[in-house]
Amino acid sequence: MAKQAVYDASAIQALKGLEPVRRMPGMYTHTVHPLHVVQEAIDNAVDEALAGHGKRITVTVRKDGSVEVEDEGRGVPVDMHAEEKKPAVEVAFTMLHAGGKFSRSGEGVYHISGGLHGVGVAVSNALSRRCEVTVYRDGQKHSIAFEGGELKQKLKSEKSKEKRTGTVVRLWPDPKYFDSPNIPMAELEHLVRSKAYLLPGLTTVLEVEGKEKKTWKYERGMAQYFDFMLQGRELAAPLFAGEKIFDEKAAAEHAEIEAGEGAAWAIGWVAEGEVFADSHVNLIPTRSGGTHEAGFRSGVFEALAAFMETRALAPKGVKLIADDLFQRACFTLSARIVRVQFHGQTKEKLTTRHAAKLLELCVRDAFELWLSEHPEDGKRIAELAVEQAMSRLARGKKVERKKSSGIATLPGKLVDCASGEVARNELFLVEGDSAGGSAKEARDKESQAVLPLRGKVLNTMSKDSRTVLANKELQAIATAIGVDPHGAEDSVDLSGIRYGKVIVMTDADVDGGHIQALLLTFFFMHAPKLVERGHLYVAQPPLYKLEVPGQGKGRPARRIYCLDDDEMEEAIGQLKKEKVRDGAWEISRFKGLGEMSPEQLWETTMNPDTRRLVRMQLDSKQMKKARETFELLMDSGEAEGRRNWMREHWKSVEADV
């Protein structure tokens, strides 16, 4: 028998500097390829241009595997950091949570920026074999170099022969941290080009050694980009483009919006062919959308709905939804937000709650005005939307939802939805009758169904399908969804599935986390095809609520929801900056979803425009790895393996003892 390791103080490791990134790179960046590592350097250059410093950014891909990003900004500061006793440039590249973008509300050097989480270019350095930084500042040329994230060449300064300012970062991404060492060039080109059209007047250059240099500059911004993307195709109606930035007076009318926030957009409709949708926040591409996209879609749709209602353009019996309008829409959206929050370090999805309201305020009135000024064009857009709605309804009639099958009746506690459109419908798996009651009242009865669960479901690890179906709770889940338990290699027919989204919605506490883990074990081990096809989601309900009293004119009382302790600290910090009297706010901690009123549950966790969902979609390779992890963490025979895993990953594991 193997000798038992002693669990004492010597077993507790404290990772220093960039070691956490090298140990667990997947927590900080994509590990499929190094594009995000390079993007961090590009985003820093763009933030300088966004702040009004520099008109040109050059990205060069060299034959030796390195990528160089050069800007005309102010140059990363090189003077000595008062607390760290190191040059500021060294601090920025070797320390997590160090940067110039944490200050907000006009106090810092960046009012609007894409960088926020403070790990950015330090992660790029940590995951590179070598990193060279050259800074032009105050008539001097400063150079510093790192290898494996550690300082290799101390800061060296000399008089610059060039009259310029700016920063040049050259990275050699380390292949051992990535599945593929190659940067996808099409994605890199799209990224570099997008910066140019999002910031009119900015020139971006992509140079690949041995190939022709590509340069972009869009003086007309998004409208010019549309010409490029459409490639000669005609729009069904003229392009609707606009921009709205809230000044201090306008922002004062809305409690959550700050001066300088707003958006620019361009949207057009095509009768046929492919469509495209590009959204950005502070010039960072949000490939998975987020709250800003939800607000934009809502604002555009509500404006068209109002236009159609006043002119009686909707056929009887046809209820339009936002998807009908956006099926044939091409759009590009650029939001500017001060207190920006992303889902994860890769910043692909925005989760800032007030962004939905901000974007709706930006675009709804503007589009209503545009439609009233262009009534014939508005009618053409409405006709396209109605066409899509009729097509959707026709498809729904062909595939009728089964209320029951020959072998099973739908569970009695299932509160079903009215719509027959599988893709649009959602099933919420809710913990307990109390939360189930709130969810039933809060839901959109048209497209949201609720299945309350009693207690903790069976741990299905190492259980066969017969045992799974013998359990009443799990049988109810499988029957409601319309999926039979199956294995990873099984061929399974999902044509009988009854909901496009299956959403696990549990309390934000330890018990809720346990139930969530048991449900995910069931889906990953006994319904893996459901996961692979992207039907499974996990809701992210808030843990805290802050009640903030009104503060005179223009600052009415408000309610702020926070996902966790970090968000609450940030929200309180923001209130202090707004000079709200310390302690004037009241903090409540939700014991569970059942404690929320239906209105609160809808606003925070069920409303598609403001909720936060994590999609559990993995490819077959990732699924295999995930299933192995579930086996390690959930199998009763893996106690020793779990102990070893917790020793290795103690820093990223949370436990209530």
Enzyme catalytic residues: 431, 507, 509, 511
Confirm if 575 and 562 have CB atoms less than 8 A apart. no
- Please name which of 443, 440, 420, 424 lies closest in space to residue 432, comparing C-alpha atoms: 440
What is the rounded CA–CA span in Å between residue 345 and residue 333?
A: 21
What is the rounded CA–CA span in Å between residue 506 and residue 538?
A: 9
Q: What single-letter amino acid sits at 329?
A: A
Structure tokens at 329: 């829409």
- Please name which of 225, 248, 246 lies closest in space to residue 336, comparing C-alpha atoms: 246
Ramachandran assignment for 552, one of left (phi > 0), alpha (psi -120 to 50 degrees), beta (any other) = left
DSSP state of 458: P
Spell out the alpha helix ranges (H) of 443-583.
465-470, 472-481, 510-526, 528-532, 565-577
What is the rounded CA–CA span in Å between residue 464 and residue 443?
A: 34
Confirm if 499 and 481 have CB atoms less than 8 A apart. yes
Structure tokens at 431: 């913990």
State CA 19 to chain mean position distance. 26
CB atoms within 10 A of CB 105: 15
Ramachandran assignment for 65, one of left (phi > 0), alpha (psi -120 to 50 degrees), beta (any other) = left
Half-sphere exposure of 74 (CA within 13 A, CB side): 13
User: How buried is residue 617: exposed, middle or buried, by Cβ count under 10 Å (0-12/13-18/19+)?
Assistant: middle
Question: Whose structure tokens read 């986390």?
Answer: 513
Structure tokens at 286: 């949000």
Structure tokens at 476: 């109810």
- Please name which of 220, 319, 320, 330 lies closest in space to residue 266, comparing C-alpha atoms: 330
What is the rounded CA–CA span in Å between residue 119 and residue 22?
A: 13
What is the rounded CA–CA span in Å between residue 48 and residue 264?
A: 19
What is the rounded CA–CA span in Å between residue 486 and residue 491?
A: 8
Look at the alpha carbons of 485, 491, 496, 498 in this order and tell me if their dihedral is positive or negative.
Answer: positive
Structure tokens at 424: 């649009």
Half-sphere exposure of 203 (CA within 13 A, CB side): 10
Q: What share of the chain is helix, strand, coil (3-state, %, to 5)?
A: 35, 20, 45
- Please name which of 631, 554, 547, 621 lies closest in space to residue 583, comparing C-alpha atoms: 547
582-590 own/partner pairs: CB under 8 Å, 24+ apart: 584/548, 584/549, 585/546, 585/547, 585/548, 585/549, 586/546, 586/547, 587/544, 587/545, 587/546, 588/544, 588/545, 588/546, 588/547, 589/543, 589/544, 590/507, 590/508, 590/541, 590/542, 590/543, 590/544, 590/545
